[in-house]
């Protein structure tokens, strides 16, 4: 028997008030992959992430992590099974400092909650603080450690959000439009940060509109439209696919899509 996939999305359907948003969708993510999930606006990409992370219950189908069925598992428990995510809209504790936000991401790895509940200012030498500081330094964010995140530029806040998601040491990291709103320099920094995260052993599943970004980052692409899979393969393969071209209605898949949600 071969090893089960890291993530298996098996014949999943999701209805919102009778409206089918995801229909019998199946795909797998193997450990070590950098997989992109793409599709036109409203195709159901964020919904797929919300189903994987347990924000919504499924209408039908199953979700497995390393062969274990997590379909019924509470959202907050999924992090213990290796699933972490960033959101399409940044979710940080806006008045807390960068390091305090990073430390919030550590909680699934803490053996006792009291370690982390001790106010940051009283535990300057704790291993958690050290780890958070090292992570900030590796991500070239050390200079922002003590700054409340609501005083920081958007691109920096996005990188802090990403670091927070990684601090839980997930097996699978879900990224919903990580490059949206970033300038070219920030986009390049994000690319490097994601490659470093992948090199540290974390599998990436990325939703992204910027096809140039996807092409550079990802080794395989799953394309959905109206909640159904229409193509799967390398970027070159899906780019040539007639169904994909039709779904994007001439909005050249090879170039940056102009719509962002």
Interaction partner, residue 150 (ligand ADP, Mg ion, none; CB < 5-8 Å by kind)? none
- For residues 104 and 239, give the distance between their C-alpha atoms in angstroms, rounded to a whole number: 40
Query: Which residues have C-beta within 8 Å of that of residue 140, sequence separation ≥ 6?
Result: 189
CB closer to ligand ADP, 219 vs 261: 261
Asked if 244 and 230 touch (Cβ cutoff 8 Å), the reply is: yes
Interaction partner, residue 42 (ligand ADP, Mg ion, none; CB < 5-8 Å by kind)? ligand ADP
CB closer to Mg ion, 47 vs 97: 47
- In whole angstroms, the minimum distance from the beta carbon of 75 to ligand ADP comes to 14
- For residues 13 and 256, give the distance between their C-alpha atoms in angstroms, rounded to a whole number: 29
- In whole angstroms, the minimum distance from the beta carbon of 15 to Mg ion comes to 18
- In whole angstroms, the minimum distance from the beta carbon of 41 to ligand ADP comes to 5
- For residues 172 and 72, give the distance between their C-alpha atoms in angstroms, rounded to a whole number: 18
Q: Considering only CA atoms, which of 235, 166, 165 is closest in space to residue 201? A: 166
Q: Is 80 exposed, middle or buried (0-12, 13-18, 19+ CB in 10 A)?
A: exposed
CB closer to Mg ion, 103 vs 190: 190
- For residues 145 and 101, give the distance between their C-alpha atoms in angstroms, rounded to a whole number: 9
- For residues 149 and 152, give the distance between their C-alpha atoms in angstroms, rounded to a whole number: 5
- For residues 8 and 69, give the distance between their C-alpha atoms in angstroms, rounded to a whole number: 9
Interaction partner, residue 41 (Mg ion, ligand ADP, none; CB < 5-8 Å by kind)? ligand ADP
Residue 170 dihedral angles phi and psi, to the nearest 5°: -70, 160
Residue closest to Mg ion, measured at CB: 46
Residues 33-62 that bind Mg ion (CB under 5 A): 46
Binding span for Mg ion by CB under 5 A among 79-87, 141-149, 244-252, 253-261: 253-261
Interaction partner, residue 16 (Mg ion, ligand ADP, none; CB < 5-8 Å by kind)? ligand ADP
CB closer to ligand ADP, 51 vs 163: 51
Interaction partner, residue 222 (ligand ADP, Mg ion, none; CB < 5-8 Å by kind)? none
CB closer to ligand ADP, 199 vs 259: 259
Residues interacting with ligand ADP, by CB under 6 A?
16, 21, 39, 41-47, 261
- In whole angstroms, the minimum distance from the beta carbon of 50 to ligand ADP comes to 7
Strand partners, 35: 205, 220
- In whole angstroms, the minimum distance from the beta carbon of 55 to ligand ADP comes to 9
Interaction partner, residue 154 (Mg ion, ligand ADP, none; CB < 5-8 Å by kind)? none
Pairs from 190-197 (Cβ < 8 Å, separation ≥ 24): 190/158, 190/159, 190/162, 191/216, 191/217, 193/139, 193/159, 193/162, 194/34, 194/162, 196/138, 197/162, 197/166, 197/173
Size of the residue set binding Mg ion (CB under 5 A)? 2
Binding residues for Mg ion (CB under 5 A): 46, 261
């Amino acid at each position: 028997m071969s090893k089960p996939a890291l993530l298996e999305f098996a014949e999943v359907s999701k209805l919102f008030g009778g409206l089918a948003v995801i229909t019998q969708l199946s795909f797998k993510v193997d450990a070590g992959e950098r997989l992109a999930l793409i599709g036109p606006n409203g195709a159901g990409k964020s919904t797929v992430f919300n189903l994987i992370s347990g924000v919504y219950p499924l209408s039908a189908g199953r979700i497995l992590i390393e062969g274990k069925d997590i379909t019924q598992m509470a959202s907050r428990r999924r992090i213990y099974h290796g699933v972490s995510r960033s959101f399409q809209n940044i979710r940080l504790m806006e008045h807390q400092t960068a390091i305090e936000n990073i430390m919030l991401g550590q909680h699934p790895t803490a053996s006792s909650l009291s370690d982390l509940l001790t106010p940051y200012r009283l535990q300057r030498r704790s291993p958690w603080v050290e780890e958070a500081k090292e992570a900030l330094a590796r991500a070239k964010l050390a200079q922002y450690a003590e700054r409340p995140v609501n005083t920081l530029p958007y691109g920096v806040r996005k990188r802090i959000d990403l670091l927070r998601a990684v601090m839980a040491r997930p097996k699978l990291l879900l990224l919903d439009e990580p490059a949206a709103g970033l300038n070219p320099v920030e986009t390049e920094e994000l690319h490097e940060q994601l490659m470093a995260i992948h090199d540290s052993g974390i599998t990436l599943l990325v939703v992204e509109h910027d096809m140039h970004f996807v092409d550079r980052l990802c080794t395989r692409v799953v394309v959905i439209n109206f909640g159904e899979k229409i193509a799967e393969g390398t970027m070159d393969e899906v780019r040539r696919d007639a169904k994909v071209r039709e779904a994007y209605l001439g909005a050249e898949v090879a170039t940056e899509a102009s719509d962002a949600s």
